[in-house]
Amino acid sequence: MVLAVGNFAITAVLLQKFAEMAAKYISHWEIIDYAYADKKDAPSGTARELANRLSKIQESQLDVPLDSIAGPKESRGVRLNGSQVHSVRLPGYIISVDAIFGMPDQKLIIRHESGSSAEPYVSGALLAIRKIGQLVGLQHGLDSVMDF
């Protein structure tokens, strides 16, 4: 048995699951990935995984196609697996990801934030350790051992 997990933070996994639920009903969304100034990967693995998961539901709708943008296209972020993804790298941030869904006159913002300690990852790792014995073969994601 093998459990392949990219992020052990339970709130990150919940963000992904709740965003998957929202994407079934809301066709407009964007992802914003925040991290400390010297973080080299952009977007983060969590933001890339979120875009990948949402691509299995549907692509986010763009009312103005990227080819029709007046100004630098990069100002709209990157199109990644059918989602617009923006990466902010500044001092003062640790790690956070927003999934922002929009509909006429309403929006839904789902956010995962981690502090500077290892605590957000410890609870997910302990959950995985407790549940690993119930798995067969290769499983992907902490959500494969969570009850939904």
> Which H, E and C letters describe 68-123, residue by residue?
HCCCCHHHHCEEECCEEEEEEECCCCCEEEEEEEEECCEEEEEEEEECCCCHHHHH
Domains with residue ranges and CATH for the chain: 11-116 (3.30.360.10)
Extract the tokens encoding 30.
Answer: 């964007």
Mean predicted confidence (pLDDT) in 60-87: 95
* Residues forming beta bridges with residue 112, ordered by sequence position: 97
| Residue-wise pLDDT tens digits, 5-26 | 888 999 999 999 999 999 999 9
d(CA 17, CA 143): 8
What's the whole-model pTM score?
A: 0.91
Taking the C-alpha atoms of residue 21 and residue 15, their distance in angstroms, rounded to an integer, is 10
